[in-house]
C-alpha cells in the first residue's frame, strides 16, 4: 500500500515512525520544517493524568507514556519531571478535582487533592482559591526535538520525508484516494492520513469530509525572571496556565491560555492567528498567583491553535472516503498522546484495532 502522511508535527512524525515498521511504502509531506509549526508553539507538557478521568483515557495516556519512557531512556532527548497543579477558583470545580484525585489514586497513579492553604508549598499564592489537584509525575519536553527524533526513526526504516512541500490537492478515483498533489510534485497514494493539526479542516475539505472540529487560540508569553520558578505547571480554572522554564528557554515561565472546550471554539485561519492585544500585559498579572514572577519581564510572545472536538478526544480512523484517514482534533493533548494515536492509526490500517479504541476515537462516533 502507498501511504502519504500529511503533516510533519509530532503526531504525523509519530505515525510515520510507527508505519515505517510495516511493509507499506510510506511518505510524509510537510509544508515547512519538521515540528516547526503547531508543535513548536506548544508548551511541551506530557500529561500523565486528566480531570474527570475514565479508564479508557488513562489507558490511552499510559500507552503513549510507555513509548516516551522508552524514547527518553534510549535517546539523547530529555524530559523534566515538574508535575501539574490544577487550581480551583470555585467550590464546584474543587469538588471535581477532589473526585479526580480519588479516582486517579484508585487507578494507582500519584495524585492528591490539596486544600487552599497547602498551595503555597508549590509556589502558588492561595488567596482566592479553593484547592487544587496535584499530579507530580507530569513532565516537560522539547516537542520539536521529539518530532525530529520520530522523523529520523521513520527515515531509518525507509519512510520518505519531504519538507517544504505543501499539499495542494488530494485526487480521488471512483470515490477512493488515488494521489496527492503538492507544490513540489505528485505522489501516488492508496491511503492519505491527515495529521495536520489546525490545518485538518482545510485538508478534509479537499475530499469533502466534514467532521466536528473547532479551534481555540493558544496565545503564549515568555516571561524572564532572575531566579528559577520552583512550581509545577499551574493551570487555573479560568484557563490561564504558568509553565516554568529553564535552560535554553531561559529562566522564568511561559504563560498561556488553555482553552479546550468545544463551545469556546470557532474556525480560524492558522496562517493568520495572532496573539490578542493586551495578552502580554495580562500575563504579567499572574505574578499575583505565582509570586516568583513578580519582577519578571516579557521576553517573547507567540500563538498556536488547538483543534478541539465535542467530547475532548481525538478523531482517529478512516472516514467515509475510501483511503482517507484522519488523526486530528487532539484538543490540546497532541504532545501527550502522539505515540498512542500512531498505534491507533497502525491498528486501523492493519485491521487490528481494539473495539474500545474504535468506539471512542473513530470519526463515525459523532
Decide if 326 is inside a domain. yes
**What confidence score (pLDDT) does residue 265 get?**
81
Same domain, 122 and 243: yes
pLDDT of residue 112: 98
- Same domain for 172 and 299? no
Please give the Cα distance from 255 to 280 (Å, whole number): 9
Instruction: List, in sequence order, the alpha helices (H) in the chain.
Output: 10-19, 38-41, 55-74, 91-106, 143-156, 200-205, 279-284, 334-349, 355-361
**Domain membership flag for residue 56:** no
Boundaries of domain holding 90: 81-137+214-308
Instruction: For residue 348, give Cα distances in angstroms to 15, 127, 322.
Output: 12, 49, 13
Q: Are residues 131 and 154 in the same domain?
A: no
Same domain, 155 and 303: no
- How distant, in Å, are the alpha carbons of 1, 28, 138, 299, 350 from that of 4? 10, 6, 33, 39, 16
Q: What is the pLDDT of residue 291?
A: 92
What's the total number of domains in the chain? 2
CATH of the domain at 11: 3.50.50.60
pLDDT at 362: 96
Check whether residue 233 and residue 296 sit in a common domain.
Answer: yes
Co-location of 124 and 218 in the same domain: yes
Regions of the chain short of the pLDDT cut 70 = none
- 357 and 330 share one domain: yes
**The domain spanning residue 268 has which CATH number?**
3.30.9.10
Amino acid at each position: 500500500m502507498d501511504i502519504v502522511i500529511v503533516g510533519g508535527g509530532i503526531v504525523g512524525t509519530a505515525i510515520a515512525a510507527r508505519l515505517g515498521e510495516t511493509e507499506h511504502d510510506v511518505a510524509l509531506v510537510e509544508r515547512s520544517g519538521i515540528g516547526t509549526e503547531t508543535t513548536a508553539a506548544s508548551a511541551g507538557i506530557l500529561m500523565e493524568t486528566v480531570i474527570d478521568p475514565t479508564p479508557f483515557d488513562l489507558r490511552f495516556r499510559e500507552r503513549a507514556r510507555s513509548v516516551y519512557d522508552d524514547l527518553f531512556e534510549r535517546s539523547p532527548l530529555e524530559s523534566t519531571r515538574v508535575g501539574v497543579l490544577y487550581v480551583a477558583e470555585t467550590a464546584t470545580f474543587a469538588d471535581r478535582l477532589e473526585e479526580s484525585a480519588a479516582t486517579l489514586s484508585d487507578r494507582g497513579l500519584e495524585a492528591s487533592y490539596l486544600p487552599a492553604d497547602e498551595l503555597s508549598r508549590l509556589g502558588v499564592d492561595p488567596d482566592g482559591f479553593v484547592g487544587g489537584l496535584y499530579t507530580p509525575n507530569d513532565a516537560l519536553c522539547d516537542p520539536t526535538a521529539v518530532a525530529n527524533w520520530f522523523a529520523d526513526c521513520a527515515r531509518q526504516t525507509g519512510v520518505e520525508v519531504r519538507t517544504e512541500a505543501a499539499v495542494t490537492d488530494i485526487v480521488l478515483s471512483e470515490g477512493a484516494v488515488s494521489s496527492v498533489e503538492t507544490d513540489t510534485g505528485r505522489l501516488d497514494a492508496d491511503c492519505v492520513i491527515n495529521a495536520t493539526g489546525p490545518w485538518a479542516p482545510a485538508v478534509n475539505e479537499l475530499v469533502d469530509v466534514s467532521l466536528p472540529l473547532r479551534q481555540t487560540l493558544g496565545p503564549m508569553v515568555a516571561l524572564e525572571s532572575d531566579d528559577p520558578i520552583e512550581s509545577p505547571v499551574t493551570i487555573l480554572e479560568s484557563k490561564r496556565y504558568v509553565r516554568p522554564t529553564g535552560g535554553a528557554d531561559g529562566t522564568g515561565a511561559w504563560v498561556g491560555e488553555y482553552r479546550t472546550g468545544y463551545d469556546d471554539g470557532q474556525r480560524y485561519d492558522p496562517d493568520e492567528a495572532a496573539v490578542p492585544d493586551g495578552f502580554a500585559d495580562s500575563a504579567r498579572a499572574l505574578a499575583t498567583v505565582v509570586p516568583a514572577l513578580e519582577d519578571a519581564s516579557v521576553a517573547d510572545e507567540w500563538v498556536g491553535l488547538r483543534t478541539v472536538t465535542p467530547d475532548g478526544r481525538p478523531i482517529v480512523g478512516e472516514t467515509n472516503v475510501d483511503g482517507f484517514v484522519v488523526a486530528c482534533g487532539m484538543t490540546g493533548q497532541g504532545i501527550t498522546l502522539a505515540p498512542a494515536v500512531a498505534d491507533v492509526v497502525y491498528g486501523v490500517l492493519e485491521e487490528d484495532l481494539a473495539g474500545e479504541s474504535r468506539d471512542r476515537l473513530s470519526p463515525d462516533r459523532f
